[in-house]
Copies of this chain bind each other. A is one copy, B any other.
Amino acid sequence: MHFVEKLGRFTELSDDERIALATCVETEKVVPAQTRLVNQGDEYPSAYVIERGWSFRQRLLKDGRRQVMNFLVPGDAIGFAAAFFAHADHTVITMTEVRYARIDPDRLMQVIAGSPRLGATLFWSTALEESVLREHIVSLGQRTAREHMAHLLVELAERVRKGGMPEAEAQLLPVTQILLADVLGISPVHTNRTIRQLVREGVIETSARGIALLDEPRLRQMSDFDEQFLHEDGGPDF
């Protein structure tokens, strides 16, 4: 029930609200790495909430270039707003084994109708996601590859910490460098050089399974990380 917990972190939910929310959760499912949860161009399948593991959103251009939008960690939602659209404009792929819950959109609508506070809270969590997108825009437009990389790593560490991912998994970002290149909008070769440099400086560490942070304070400093952008400064005001 990460979904209920996540919203509960924003607003103090009553027991009634918790119970009502829980009735929206349908089946839970576990899928292996490299599974497509949503397919660009297809009809939007449904609404989901990630409960365990890593995934990411990507968008393909006609000539094969791809851009990775963001990563999804436990507590993140898929398709709450986007489900309004006829077709998905992006693909969601799992990077590890992932457990997720299907949410019944109609039921959710009913629940919200009964509790505007819940609606506002949901709205809030969408706004938070938008904030992450905006920060990505800033990174792509203004930060150097090095700064962008550092910023991304700190952001993920932060989000994962709040998302209730088990400590062991949270320490390690399970990405290939090719994937990372398409997040940062740079070539795989340059991604590699940037990573190697950060490793030489001792702020990160690489292994076969991914990237681990060694010196988060320095990463924050070199990326000019703004504590405020994940908006820990409060949820909706009632």
Contact = CB atoms under 8 A, between A and B. Distances in A.
A201 interface: no
**By DSSP majority rule, is chain A's interface helix, strand, loop, or mixed?**
helix
18 contacts: A61-B142, A65-B142, A67-B137, A69-B137, A81-B123, A82-B127, A84-B123, A84-B235, A85-B131, A87-B228, A89-B231, A90-B134, A126-B127, A129-B130, A133-B134, A140-B185, A141-B184, A141-B185
A225 to B, nearest CB: 10
Given A84-B236, A136-B137, A137-B67, A116 B112 contact: yes
Given A67-B137, A67-B142, A87-B228, 9 more contacts: A61-B138, A69-B134, A84-B235, A85-B233, A89-B228, A126-B127, A133-B133, A133-B134, A140-B140
A141 B140 contact: yes
B109 A120 contact: yes
A24 to B, nearest CB: 14
Contacts of A200: none
A88 to B, nearest CB: 10
Interface in A77-100: 81-82, 84-87, 89-90
Interface residues of A, number: 52
A53 B90 CA distance: 32
Nearest to A129: B130
A63 B224 contact: yes
